[in-house]
């Protein structure tokens, strides 16, 4: 979701107003643009619209903003298995601008720089900017980026608009990075994702992965809300647990993060008991 319009201050929630007030005056206009992009995206995904309830980095949401433009991206896994594999999402938008040639060595490896050097001179600036967005998006998607820099993310094919990448820090090769980039009006855009590498099929004789149980959900809810898990039953109502709607939203987001599932705000509205919520998360009868 891309926008260049700010979110109206009159529509801000209490949490959003608190975050806005904490920013320096020069940053508030851009922040409001990014919040509008995020709120529009949340509406499309059917998720709770209070942007103040989300913290970044986020496993299934990402933001990029600058030059009066903001882009929000969200992952909608096709299945619970895909949702479980998703480790991070990243988006980066860069407005068209000249980039210094000597900066390439800070974010491109030797092979990627050779690719740029082989291009006609007129095409190099645009490709350099596109590759910058690729590296930024990959960095944002990586849940372990505290130990990496942009240069560490190496594309399989620098010319590819959609492709894979890797990082030498992933010594176990348990993470797969993918990205897609595009030229859009006013700049370059890339969305990237980090996924757990598919595991080899285990022989039928191996013990299967334990199914998610109500006790798993109850333990997580109890931990989140500081309620003894043994007091929670499938008949416990959500109203008993979280009279504050904001607290309910936090609990729902926490469950989705913990168990790698996705459900919409519309689906959540139809839930009244903890047992129904557990079914929504993925507990089978």
State both tokens at 54: 């989300």
Q: What confidence tens digit (pLDDT) does each residue in 184-232 have?
A: 888 999 999 998 877 655 555 455 556 788 888 888 888 877 788 888 8
Ranges of residues in the chain with a pLDDT under 50 are 205
**All structural domains of the chain:** 56-196 (3.90.470.20), 214-281 (1.10.1200.10)
pTM above 0.75, yes or no: no
E strand segments, the chain: 2-3, 61-66, 69-74, 86-95, 154-155, 162-166, 175-184, 187-196
pLDDT for res 190: 97
pLDDT for res 127: 94
Backbone angles phi, psi at 71, to 5 degrees: -130, 130
pLDDT for res 185: 87
pLDDT for res 153: 94
CA 153/CA 135 separation, integer angstroms? 6
Query: Under a CB-based contact definition with an 8 Å cutoff, are residues 231 and 215 in contact?
Result: no
pLDDT for res 152: 92
């Amino acid at each position: 979701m891309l926008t260049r319009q700010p979110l109206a201050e009159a529509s801000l929630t209490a949490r959003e107003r608190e975050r806005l007030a904490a920013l320096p005056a020069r940053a508030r206009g851009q922040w409001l643009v990014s919040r509008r992009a995020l709120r529009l995206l949340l509406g499309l995904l059917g998720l709770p619209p209070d942007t103040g309830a989300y913290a970044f980095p986020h496993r299934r949401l990402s933001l990029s903003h600058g030059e009066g433009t903001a882009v929000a991206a969200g992952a909608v896994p096709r299945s619970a298995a895909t949702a479980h594999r998703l480790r991070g999402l990243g988006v980066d938008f860069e407005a068209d601008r000249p980039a210094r040639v000597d900066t390439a060595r800070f974010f491109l490896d030797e092979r990627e720089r050779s690719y740029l050097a082989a291009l006609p001179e007129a095409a190099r600036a645009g490709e350099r900017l596109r590759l910058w967005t690729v590296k930024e998006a990959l960095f944002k998607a990586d849940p372990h980026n505290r130990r990496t820099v942009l240069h560490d993310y190496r594309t399989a094919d620098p010319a590819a608009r959609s492709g894979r990448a890797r990082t030498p820090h992933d010594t176990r090769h348990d993470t797969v990075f993918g990205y897609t980039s595009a030229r859009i009006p006013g700049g370059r855009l890339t969305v990237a994702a980090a996924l757990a590498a598919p595991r080899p099929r285990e022989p039928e004789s191996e013990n299967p992965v334990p199914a998610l149980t109500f006790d798993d959900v109850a333990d997580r809810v109890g931990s989140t809300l500081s309620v003894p898990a043994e007091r929670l039953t499938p008949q416990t109502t959500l109203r008993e647990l979280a009279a504050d709607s904001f607290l309910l939203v936090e609990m729902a987001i926490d469950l989705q993060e913990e168990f790698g599932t996705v459900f919409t705000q519309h689906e959540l509205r139809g839930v009244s008991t903890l047992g129904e919520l557990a079914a929504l998360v993925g507990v089978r009868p």
